[in-house]
A and B are shown apart, each in its own frame.
Chain A
Amino acid sequence: MASIPLEVSLFLSGLLFSLGLLGVLVRRNILFILMSLEIMMNAAGLAFVAASSHWGVADGQVMFIFIVTVAAAEVSVGLALVLQLYRRIHTLDSDAVSVMRG
């Protein structure tokens, strides 16, 4: 165990992050956008945990816990917003919500 090079883990986290970003940019459904955001956060958490185990310190995992906290908070608020949005305009298309167009 622990013979995995740090670079590999970090690259994996980068790959997942990029996929999440792709999802955010491509999807128009707000639900999917939220999921993609979760993917990106998770990827960041992976990078923290990998670094933490590489140097054998607990800080990375503490950060991961914080990230999970933030993710939970974000999802709860975000999903509440989605709910409100759906009630008002009966769609989840983010491009339909462009009242603040300049």
Chain B
Amino acid sequence: MLSLLWLVPTLPFLGFLILLLFGDRMTKTLVGIIGAGSVGLSALLTMVIGYQFLASPPPDHAFTQVLWTWFEVGGFRPEIAFRLDALSLVMASVVTFVGFLIHLYSIGYMHEDSSFSRFFAEMNLFVCMMLVLVLGDNLLLLYVGWEGVGLCSYLLIGFWYQEPANCTAAQKAFIVTRVGDTAMAIGFFLLVTQLGTLQVQDLMHKAGEMWEPGSGMAVAATLLLLGGAVGKSGQLPLQTWLPDAMAGPTPVSALIHAATMVTAGVYLIARTHALFALAPSVQFLVAVIGALTLLLAGFSALVQTDIKRILAYSTISQIGYMFLALGVGAWSAGMFHFMTHAFFKALLFLAAGAVIHALHHEQNIFKMGGLAKQLPVVFWTFLIGAGCLASIPLITSGFYSKDAILWYAFSSEGGSIWLWMAGLAGAFFTSIYTFRMVFIAFLGEPKGHIHHRPGPVMLVPLVVLAFLALFSGFIELPHNFAPVQMFSNLMDTVFHSHGHSHEEHSSAALEGILQLTAGIVSLIGVAAAYFLFLKDPSKVEKISSTPAGSFLQGFLLRGWDFDRLYDTLFVNPLMALARINKGDIVDSLYNGLASLTQMGHYRLKWIQNGAVRWYAAGLALGAVILLGVFIFT
């Protein structure tokens, strides 16, 4: 059964091919069946494979399927090979399963769209590429998937390309991530030249043998890889593309810009964790980037009015938590948060999409309101997602995963109280902006008019995801609660437990206090949101009407003005340079050469006058000159 692994990415690819070639001639029902069905089959297969993997683990807890040798140059011999271990199993399961639910949802959401089959073709290609990314046995194959998902992200953000703003957003996403990708590609080159392979396991092994911990080479390589991860995952300083990426259809935002692709950076770091372990300074940098990003994005999310932009900033912030976890060496906690985040963020996006769909593409939360009564299922599922995001204690998965991160941020070797406090502050803001969104959009006075209610094809994925968001947290409980650590036990087969378990047991009381603090902070955040935005919104309005308040609001609304900064620093100088070089300065050299030749042609044209006597005269003159040269020299 494990040998069917190759089918997992192939099935969505087949779906893509079929839709690409014949999609225009199919009915929408058929397109939906193929589009969602291919991913669904893939999800089913992943589950079967996963069950077998867990039931009877292969040796070393990893299974590698070599399909063929890609090419062979010098000693460099990458293979088309898929590797299944705990890490890629979790990633692949989430990608296929959440992907399937989102595909299912899209059948309802995109039903009115004229480019229905193009949408599903691109979504299928995305799932395929994402699976290549997570299953790829070597970094080169990972890079193929990496660029593939980048391409699909570009295509899908610009899906409604008739709108110029969407195209701009797509280009921005593509170009900004390209900055990181370039760094990552250079990092790969460095790894190939230094270690001679890109096969992940060999790479980790050789790096451990050849590089001292903290050596310059390890720092350079991990820094470059971090560049790629930061770009893809929308972390500081390359986070600017992600809020704009919400220009795409909502299922795209749910699938690509919340649940799967943006976590590719997290996956990359987790995959190459042995390298990062060799460069503690870079690992600390990862933690700092995560902490800063989660705070920055959290602040920005506080003032956004567009429901999708709030979710986008919250995504940036949550991935910041994952980076924080990776940075302090809590690999499995990071991956655990990835999984729960994938569930509840996809849920939030899909629920938001249902609202947007119902209100006829209204995304401003201030023009919603009172939706709880009109769309009860959507409300309850959204509430569950929001609860997870705000990490409401004990009942939500978000609490368990975020709590694990906070605990490691405090207690592990790389952690510190400052990182913990940043995480805690982030959690506080998270619950404020999350429930601000809930209170303003769903409670209060009804403002919008419901155009059409979501059908079962959209509601079923919501319910399933809500179920997962609520209960997926219980597979991994804190040590002081109960000895249920299924997830980290599974992950330890990959990460080989970096020995922080002894500490955890010793300080159960401390852990309890921290958990209590985190839980209370979350609840305070909810309460604050209630008082500020539902009970008495006048105070907030008063603050924001002062000059300083409105400036701050605009500043945060524009995402800390990173766009303006980059415009001034990079975009405008480049544009100015391009304007100067409009005529292509280098080209003018060749143009000059051409015009010189042409001028020579015009100057010499008259000698080709067709008169034989002239030619004879030319011959004679030449002879005379040659003879003269012979005689007189």
Physical contact A–B (CB less than 8 Å): yes
A25 within 8 A of B: yes
Q: Is residue B605 contacting chain A, with contact meaning CB distance below 8 A?
A: yes
9 pairs from A and B in contact (CB 8 Å cutoff) = A21-B620, A25-B616, A25-B617, A25-B620, A28-B613, A95-B613, A97-B610, A101-B608, A102-B605
Instruction: State the majority secondary structure of interface residues on A.
Output: loop
Q: Which residue of B lies closest to A24 (CB)?
A: B616
B 596-615 binary contact with A (CB < 8 Å = 1; else 0): 00000000011111111100
Contact check, A98 vs B611: say whether CB atoms are below 8 A apart.
yes
Contacts of A27 in B (CB 8 A): 613
B169 to chain A, nearest CB (A): 57
A98 to B620, CA, bound (A): 20
Residues of A67-88 whose CB lies within 8 A of B: none
Smallest CB separation, B132 vs chain A (Å): 61
Does A43 sit at the interface, judged by CB under 8 A? no
B610: nearest chain-A partner, CB-CB: A98
Q: How far is the CA of A98 from the CA of B611 in the complex (A)?
A: 5
Residues of B at under 8 Å CB distance from A? 605-613, 616-617, 620
Number of residue pairs spanning A and B whose beta carbons lie under 8 angstroms apart = 34
Cross-interface CB contact of B609 among A21, A24, A25, A98, cutoff 8 Å: A98
Cross-interface CB contact of B612 among A21, A97, A102, cutoff 8 Å: A97
Q: Taking CB as reference atom, which chain B residue is nearest A37?
A: B616
Instruction: Give the shortest distance, in Å, between B428 (CB) and chain A (any CB).
Output: 85
A1 at the interface (CB under 8 A from B): no
A99 CB contacts on chain B under 8 angstroms? 610
Q: Tell me, yes or no, whether A33 is within 8 Å of chain B by CB.
A: yes
Cα–Cα, bound, A28→B612 (Å):
9
Smallest Cβ-Cβ distance to B604: which chain A residue: A102
Q: Find chain B residues with CB under 8 A from A100 CB.
A: 608, 610
Neighbouring A residues of B613 by C-beta, 8 Å = 24-25, 27-28, 33, 94-95
B266–chain A nearest beta-carbon distance, Å: 71
Q: How far is the CB of A20 from chain B (nearest CB, A)?
A: 11
- Beyond A94-B613, A95-B613, 11 additional pairs, beta carbon < 8 A: A21-B620, A24-B616, A33-B613, A94-B612, A97-B610, A98-B609, A100-B608, A101-B610, A102-B606, A102-B608, A102-B609
Q: How far is the CB of B509 from chain A (nearest CB, A)?
A: 101
Report the Cα distance A99→B622, complex, angstroms: 24
Q: What are the 7 tightest A-B residue pairs by CB atom distance, in nearest-first order?
A: A102-B608, A98-B610, A101-B610, A100-B610, A94-B612, A95-B611, A24-B616
CB distance from A13 to the nearest CB of B (A): 15
Instruction: Give chain A residues whose Cβ lies under 8 Å from the Cβ of B607.
Output: 102
Query: In the complex, what residues of B have CB within 8 A of residue A24's CB?
Result: 613, 616, 620
Residues of chain A within 8 A of B617, CB atoms compared: 25
Query: By the criterion CB–CB under 8 Å, are A94 and B611 in contact?
Result: yes
Residues of B within 8 A of A97 (CB): 610, 612
Residues of B within 8 A of A28 (CB): 613
Question: Within the assembled complex, what's the spacing in Å between the Cα atoms of A62 and B608?
Answer: 38
- Closest CB in chain B relative to A7 CB, distance in Å: 15
Cβ of A33 to closest chain B Cβ, rounded Å: 7
CA–CA, A21 and B609, complex, Å = 20
List B contacts of A21 (CB < 8 A): 620
Known: A21-B620, A25-B617, A25-B620. A33 touches B605 (CB 8 A): no
Q: Which residues of chain B are near A33, meaning CB under 8 Å?
A: 612-613
Chain B residue, CB-CB nearest to A26? B613
In the complex, what residues of B have CB within 8 A of residue A95's CB? 611, 613
* Chain B, Cβ-Cβ closest to A21: B620
Q: Is the CB of B609 within 8 A of A101?
A: yes
Expressed in whole angstroms, the Cα–Cα distance for A97 and B607 within the complex equals: 15
Interchain nearest-CB distance for A9 vs B (Å): 19
Complexed CA–CA distance, A94 and B617 (Å): 14
Chain B residues contacting A25 (CB-CB under 8 Å) are 613, 616-617, 620
Residue of A nearest to B609 (CB): A101
| Complex CA–CA separation, A8 to B617 (angstroms) | 27
Chain A residues within an 8 Å CB radius of B608 = 100-102
CA A91 – CA B610 in complex, angstroms? 16
